[in-house]
């Protein structure tokens, strides 16, 4: 465990930066608000302009009309039936995914719905358009043009799996339960934005929004609160912040069927699901059951798939994709391998710096450590040349920053004044360094790294170890022991290169439960982790990248607390057009790369999937969702053939 005094000092520095950033952010917002009126618009006769709709988009443009029969990309005639089964690595000891305590079972939120609809496990629905939301528990949405409040008109027919109605009282209860017993970062943020909630009657609920703040993400925020049963919580005395192996009833198409701790969990389709015939659900929720099998490590999971212990696999290991599937089942066609379109930006995964670690306060040390990573050699030698190097938090999208800022992005950044370092305005956006593909230890980069460390005062001693003022340059790198072998090998090679720079680095491979616990406590200098990619603005950006929650947010593993980032997020929330929004997000990508919070690794532009040949999916997949649990379906005839051939049990 790291020194308590260092941790306390780091927390104090974080607090100081956060307070500075909030002051700067307030000044920036006040400057921008002078040209933006938040009061609700009124007609000439003095009455508010009220909008009523079957869905919500911030700019008011919905692709699907009120009478749409189904989403364009689904098969409305998809049969219901069969099972899809997936494998995962790790353990679970809870069926409550909303608590910091315990390790929730995979898909344990699948049973719960919200006022606005989404796909299985929080995936987009619809998945062919971005940032459009359609009513699920709510049949109609009503709000003033200034978005100062919203009323959700709920469907009276909505039912929990127990048969009890889902009412506005349940939504009110769930909203407050999240505030009182959910994640602190969530509660702190929402309380500031939503000061009042009012139940108008059993099927109408009204949310009021704080004056003088951005209207971004407010309606979506309340629209996606899970609907939990007030009756069940009050009768059982259960808490949202506890680890438990019981579940509250949900209103969704799937219910918990059975579980065996650390081995499997199964969800079954509710045949009496109240929303089966809604247009938003046509062609979706097609499997009778979804089963998750647990394995101790990645190799055991892979072998389990080949043996038929589960039937669908998204592959992320390049070695396995290149060589591991040369098996009789694949060669016979029993297992299908496909590369399928992925229109979302790749997850920004990488080696994350804990910015609260004293050793990484000096950017030169971060730069030196990064130069030890050799993407080109890793990709060629370990990954069969199948990956590309990730540079951006919005890789290969229209909002990926390139070159020097210009046009609307430049204008946005200039509007932030002295917060923006001159080099951000004048130099090309940060790109990853290049390395020698032929040699793991790139001597050119090593010389640069050593010069940076020397400049930072970390001198090499007679024993080859760097020290400053008697303190050894020591780094602990937290790593999940259940990770795929290829990833583990790549990180071991990276660590070997770091050691050659004279740094005492320790790759700490710990089991998944220890990894989760230590990650929550930020007990690391480096960690292999990820941030969420983004395509649009919203208050969630502050939870991931903002200063206010930096000290404790689970979504900000670097502990980033930057006045520049805060100001960009605040400015983005004030965008009045899609063009302004895109310019601000391009600036955010540029600034995040400038802050240098992680060493970006690799990505692939397509989904690699392997599945037993009994599943089917639409010919044209939507860009924002693979949909294997959402709108794929089961072919009973093909399944019978697989069983007859012995490919499946």
**Domain-embedded: residue 88:** no
pLDDT-based confidence at 185, cuts 50/70/90? confident
**Rounded distance between C-alpha atoms, residue 324 and residue 315, angstroms:** 11
Beta bridge partners of 609: 314, 338
Question: Tokens 């670097």 — which residue?
Answer: 558
pLDDT at residue 23, as a whole number = 38
174 in the same domain as 120? yes
First to last CA, the chain: 48
Give per-residue pLDDT as tens, 493-518. Answer: 999 999 999 999 999 999 988 998 89
Do residues 257 and 289 make contact, with C-beta atoms less than 8 angstroms apart? yes
pTM given for the model: 0.82
Question: Above pLDDT 90, what percent of the chain?
Answer: 82
pLDDT at residue 15, as a whole number = 44
210 in the same domain as 261? no
The answer on pLDDT for 211 being more than 60 is yes
**Rounded distance between C-alpha atoms, residue 310 and residue 299, angstroms:** 14
The answer on pLDDT for 36 being more than 90 is no
Which domain-ending residue is among 236, 266, 297?
236
Q: How many domains does the chain have?
A: 3
**Domain-embedded: residue 417:** yes
pLDDT at residue 6, as a whole number = 42
Average pLDDT, the chain: 91
Do residues 567 and 547 make contact, with C-beta atoms less than 8 angstroms apart? no
The answer on pLDDT for 309 being more than 60 is yes
The CATH number of the domain holding residue 389 is: 3.10.105.10
Mean per-residue pLDDT, 349-364: 96
Of residues 483 and 39, more confidence is placed in 483
Residue 260 three-state SS: strand
576 in the same domain as 489? yes
**Domain-embedded: residue 43:** no
Question: Above pLDDT 70, what percent of the chain?
Answer: 93
Give per-residue pLDDT as tens, 285-302. Answer: 999 999 999 999 999 999
Nearby residues of 161 by Cβ (< 8 Å), 6 or more positions away: 111, 249, 250, 251, 255, 270
Please report the DSSP string for 96-138 in residue order: -TTSSSS-BPTTTTTT---SB---GGG--SSSSSSS-EEBSSE
353 in the same domain as 336? no
Give per-residue pLDDT as tens, 559-569. Answer: 999 999 999 99
**Domain-embedded: residue 543:** yes
330 in the same domain as 366? no
Work out the angle at residue 597's Cα, subtended by the Cα atoms of residues 591 and 603, and round it to the nearest 5 degrees. 90
540 in the same domain as 638? no
184 in the same domain as 259? no
pLDDT at residue 47, as a whole number = 64
Beta bridge partners of 104: 94
pLDDT-based confidence at 46, cuts 50/70/90? low
128 in the same domain as 57? yes
205 in the same domain as 180? yes
The CATH number of the domain holding residue 639 is: 3.40.190.10
631 in the same domain as 556? no
**Domain-embedded: residue 203:** yes
Which domain-ending residue is among 202, 236, 270?
236
**Domain-embedded: residue 244:** no
Looking at residue 180, the DSSP 8-state letter turns out to be H
Instruction: Count the neighbouring beta carbons within 10 Å of the beta carbon of residue 540.
Output: 20
**Domain-embedded: residue 25:** no
The answer on pLDDT for 43 being more than 70 is no
Give per-residue pLDDT as tens, 505-556. Answer: 999 999 988 998 899 899 999 999 999 999 999 878 988 999 988 888 888 9
pLDDT-based confidence at 602, cuts 50/70/90? very high
Which domain-ending residue is among 236, 265, 282?
236
Residue 56, domain extent: 50-76+97-236
**Domain-embedded: residue 378:** yes
359 in the same domain as 302? no
366 in the same domain as 336? no
């Amino acid at each position: 465990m790291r020194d308590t005094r260092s941790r306390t000092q780091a927390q104090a520095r974080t607090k100081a930066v956060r307070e500075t950033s909030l002051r700067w952010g307030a000044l920036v917002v006040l400057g921008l608000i002078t040209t933006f009126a938040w009061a609700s618009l009124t007609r000439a006769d003095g009455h508010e302009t009220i909008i009523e709709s079957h869905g919500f988009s911030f700019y008011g443009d919905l692709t699907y009309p009120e009478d749409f029969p189904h989403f364009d990309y689904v098969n409305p005639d998809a049969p219901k039936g069969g099972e899809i089964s997936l494998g995962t690595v790790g353990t679970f000891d809870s069926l409550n995914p909303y608590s910091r305590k315990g390790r929730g079972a995979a898909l344990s939120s699948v049973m719960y719905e919200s006022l606005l609809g989404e796909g299985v496990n929080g995936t987009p629905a619809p998945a062919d358009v971005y940032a459009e939301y359609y009513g699920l528990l709510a049949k109609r949405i009503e709000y003033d043009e200034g978005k100062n409040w919203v009323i959700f008109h709920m469907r009276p027919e909505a039912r929990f799996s127990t048969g009890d109605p889902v009412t506005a009282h349940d939504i009110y209860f769930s909203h407050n339960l999240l505030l009182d017993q959910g994640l602190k970062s969530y509660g702190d943020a929402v309380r500031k934005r939503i000061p009042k909630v009012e139940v108008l009657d059993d099927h109408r609920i009204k949310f009021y929004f704080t004056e003088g703040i951005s209207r971004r993400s407010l309606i979506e925020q309340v629209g996606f609160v899970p609907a939990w049963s007030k009756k069940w919580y009050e009768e059982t005395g259960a808490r949202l912040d506890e680890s438990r192996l019981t579940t509250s009833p949900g209103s969704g198409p799937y219910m918990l069927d059975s579980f065996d701790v650390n081995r499997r969990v199964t969800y079954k389709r509710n045949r009496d699901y109240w929303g089966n015939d809604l247009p938003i659900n046509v062609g979706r929720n097609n499997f009778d059951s979804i089963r998750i099998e647990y394995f101790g490590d990645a190799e055991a999971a892979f072998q389990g798939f080949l043996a038929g212990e589960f039937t669908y696999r998204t592959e992320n290991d390049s070695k396995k994709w290149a060589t591991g599937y040369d098996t009789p089942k694949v060669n016979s066609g029993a297992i299908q391998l496909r590369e399928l379109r992925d229109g979302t930006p790749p997850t920004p995964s990488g080696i994350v710096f804990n910015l609260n670690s004293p050793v990484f306060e000096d950017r030169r040390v971060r730069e030196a450590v990064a130069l030890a990573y050799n993407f080109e050699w890793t990709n060629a030698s370990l990954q069969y040349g199948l990956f590309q190097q990730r540079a951006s938090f919005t890789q290969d999208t229209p909002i990926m920053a390139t070159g020097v800022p210009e046009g609307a992005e430049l204008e946005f950044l200039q509007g932030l004044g002295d917060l923006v370092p001159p080099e951000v305005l004048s130099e090309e956006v940060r790109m990853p360094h290049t390395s020698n593909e032929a040699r793991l230890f790139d001597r050119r980069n090593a010389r640069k790294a050593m010069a940076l460390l020397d400049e930072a005062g970390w001198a090499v001693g007679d024993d080859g170890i760097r020290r400053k003022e008697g303190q050894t340059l020591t780094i602990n790198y937290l790593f999940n022991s259940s990770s795929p072998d290829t990833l583990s090998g790549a990180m071991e090679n990276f660590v070997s290169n770091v050691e050659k720079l004279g740094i005492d680095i320790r790759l700490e491979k710990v089991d998944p439960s220890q990894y989760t616990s230590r990650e929550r406590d930020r007990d690391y200098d480096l960690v292999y982790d990820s941030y969420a990619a983004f395509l649009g603005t919203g208050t969630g950006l502050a939870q991931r990248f903002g200063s206010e929650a930096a000290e404790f947010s689970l979504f900000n593993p670097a502990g980033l607390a930057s006045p520049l980032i805060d100001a960009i997020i605040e400015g983005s929330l004030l965008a009045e057009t899609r063009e302004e929004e895109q310019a601000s997000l391009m600036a955010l990508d540029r600034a995040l790369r400038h802050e240098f919070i992680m060493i970006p690794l690799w990505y692939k532009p397509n989904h690699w999937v392997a599945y037993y040949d009994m599943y089917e999916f639409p010919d044209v997949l939507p860009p924002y969702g693979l949909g294997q649990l959402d709108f794929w379906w089961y072919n009973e005839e093909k399944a019978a053939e697989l069983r007859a051939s012995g490919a499946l049990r």
